[in-house]
Chain A
């Protein structure tokens, strides 16, 4: 925890012209005050919350980052909680797109928590806002976070849950609490499906199964569920494969579209000889049709 030296914080109350109107709609208990550092939320565009587990997987990070980036590109402001993991990836995605983002903190807006997020905190402040209902200087306590999550939900038209465990001890993970709050305030809740073998998928899958949540496989799902975000609801077609590919190139690209993977796995899925696959994958990489991660995972390039 670090105390940031003072850009001046404002205190907003309902009725203030800069008070975010959505925050007064169905949020219980009502938010009475909001400390604000940065731009007034109402000036940052329609909001969508993207939240999820701290201890997430690389899949979750990538999806959160990608959704945030794509939504921010279209002028949507991304709301999250500045936690490491999914929250941080969501803020980063919005920043990468040059978009706007709001971090809702558990403690005072001048108390950087987690302290490792200092750099991200500064960049969120520069591109958007930090808000909290706790007075300046308040150190975050565990019990503040569940109530903080109702502000994340309340500011947003929709909440997208990326990864979250379903805990067996009766308590709820932060992501699931946010989903509940969003439901309670009548916001749209969407959940990103994951690998059915991963405990991190249990929360989102539960939401889809029982919570009446939408499935989120891309930003077109967000728009389809949430007409308030106003976008012509045409679904983008999957980008067609280019002409003039060899049968092996086509098979390997299609294998990547099923699931990104290492050369060996893709070769097996595509029914291509291992050695040939290594050569073809390099060719696709050189042609800019595939991208290879540091751990050797190939995916179709955007």
Chain B
């Protein structure tokens, strides 16, 4: 979804059931049908109607109320179900051309495949395929959080205002970060990194 902030609220709220349950139920007068709807949501939005909130170069010229109204489209329940939020800042001129920094896609793909393999291996006994499917119960033990990592996610509930769902989702992301680094346990740094990906609207 491009320009998430421009969609109608009703449309956005309709995403809640499929995001949570992986299916969507259509009810008509005499019947209700449930369709499978497992999908990955990728959405982009400007930070505010003018697009410059937080920009280091151009000031935001939106009226304060307009920014709040725009950002309200990202409702708490939807924000809570988003695992990775990334702010994309203006590119400097020198970044527009020339060689991109970082690993080529082929190298990243290998790393991802290895992390998926680790997950399949770990969860095989439970009949699960990946970290996203790990149930909330005993998730800290199942995901092998170190003590400092657990303290970090617990304190985020207080300082960032994370919900229980948000905290569990952050643990799954931290587990995935650890898998990408071929680590058996989740340390504090990996947990901190996962917490940095929470959507602003899912924080206080």
Which A residues contact B (CB, under 8 angstroms)? 55-59, 61, 84-85, 88, 116, 195, 197-198, 200, 259, 261-265, 275, 278-283, 285-286, 288, 292-297
**Cβ of B59 and Cβ of A61 under 8 Å apart?**
no
Question: Which of B10-18, B50-58, B137-145 is near enough to bind chain A?
Answer: B50-58
* Contact partner, B192, options A197, A262, A265, A279, Cβ 8 Å: A279
Instruction: Identify which of A57, A116, A262, A286 gathers the most chain B CB atoms within 10 Å of its CB.
Output: A286
Nearest 7 CB-CB pairings of A with B: A57-B59, A295-B54, A296-B87, A294-B200, A282-B192, A279-B192, A282-B196
Q: How far is the CA of A296 from the CA of B159 in the complex (A)?
A: 16
Measured between beta carbons, the chain A residues less than 8 angstroms from B57 are: 197
- Chain B residues near A198: list those with CB within 8 A: 59
**Residues of B close to A55: CB separation below 8 A:** 61
Residues of A within 8 A of B189 (CB): 279
Least CB distance from A284 to B in Å reads: 10
* Interchain CB contact (< 8 A) of A59 among B59, B159, B188: B59
Q: Which residues of B contact A261 (CB under 8 A)?
A: 56
Q: Select B54's contact among A197, A275, A278, A296, beta carbons within 8 Å.
A: A296
Query: Within the complex, what minimum Cβ distance (angstroms) separates A68 from chain B?
Result: 15
Minimal beta-carbon separation of B155 from chain A (angstroms): 5
Residue of B nearest to A198 (CB): B59
What is the number of contacts between chain A and chain B, taking CB atoms within 8 Å? Answer: 76
Asked if A288 and B159 sit within 8 Å, CB to CB, the answer is yes
B-side contacts of A294, CB under 8 Å: 47, 71, 200-201
Give chain A nearest CB distance to B80 CB in angstroms.
15
Q: Residue B104 at the A interface, CB < 8 A?
A: no
Name the distance in Å between A30's Cβ and chain B's nearest Cβ. 36
Q: How far is the CA of A280 from the CA of B152 in the complex (A)?
A: 12
Please determine whether A285 and B61 come into contact, CB atoms closer than 8 angstroms: no
B195 near A282 with CB under 8 A, answer yes
Q: Is the CB of A295 within 8 A of B53?
A: yes
Q: Which residues of A contact B114 (CB under 8 A)?
A: none
Residues of B whose CB lies within 8 Å of any CB of A are: 47-48, 53-54, 56-57, 59-61, 63-65, 71, 87, 89, 152, 155-156, 159-160, 188-189, 192-193, 195-196, 200-201, 203
**B87:A295 contact, CB within 8 angstroms:** yes
Complex A-B: 10 CB contacts under 8 Å: A57-B60, A84-B63, A116-B65, A200-B59, A262-B89, A285-B159, A285-B160, A294-B201, A295-B48, A296-B200
A-side contacts of B87, CB under 8 Å: 262-263, 295-296
19 additional contacts (CB under 8 A) given A275-B193, A278-B193:
A55-B61, A58-B53, A58-B60, A59-B59, A85-B63, A200-B59, A262-B56, A265-B89, A278-B192, A279-B193, A282-B193, A282-B195, A286-B152, A286-B156, A286-B195, A294-B47, A294-B71, A295-B47, A296-B54
Cα A88 to Cα B159 in complex, Å, equals 29
- Which residues of the other chain, A, contact B193 by a CB distance below 8 angstroms? 275, 278-279, 282
Q: Across the interface, which residues of A come within 8 angstroms of B160, CB to CB?
A: 285-286
Instruction: Report yes or no: A278 in contact with B196, Cβ–Cβ below 8 A.
Output: yes
**Which residues of chain B have C-beta atoms less than 8 A from A281's C-beta?**
196
Residues of A within 8 A of B159 (CB): 285-286, 288
- A58 and B159 CA atoms in complex are apart in Å by 24
A residues less than 8 Å from B60 (CB atoms): 57-58
Q: How far is the CA of A84 from the CA of B57 in the complex (A)?
A: 23
* A contact residues around B63 at 8 Å (CB): 84-85
Chain A nearest CB, measured from B37 CB (Å) = 29
A88 CA / B192 CA spacing, docked (Å): 37
Q: How far is the CB of A175 from chain B (nearest CB, A)?
A: 16
Most interface-central of B54, B156, B159 (chain A CB within 10 A): B54
CB neighbours of A297 from chain B (8 A)? 54
The residue in B48, B56, B155 that gathers the most chain A C-beta atoms within 10 A of its C-beta is B56
Cα A264 to Cα B95 in complex, Å, equals: 13
Residue of A nearest to B101 (CB): A274
* A288 partner residues in chain B, CB cutoff 8 A: 159
User: Are B89 and A264 interface neighbours, CB within 8 A?
Assistant: yes
The minimal Cβ–Cβ distance linking B138 to chain A, given in whole angstroms, is 23
Alpha-carbon distance A280/B196, docked complex (angstroms): 10
| Chain A residues near B47 (CB-CB < 8 A) | 294-295
Chain A residue contacts of B201, Cβ below 8 A? 294
CB-defined contacts of A293 to chain B, threshold 8 Å: 54, 200
CB distance A58 to B65 under 8 Å? no
Interface centre among A59, A116, A282 (most CB of B within 10 A): A282
| A192 CA to B165 CA, complexed, in Å | 44
Residues from chain B with Cβ under 8 Å of A292 in the complex: 200, 203
Closest-CB distance, B145 to chain A (whole angstroms):
15
Distance, CA A57 to CA B195, complexed state (A)? 29
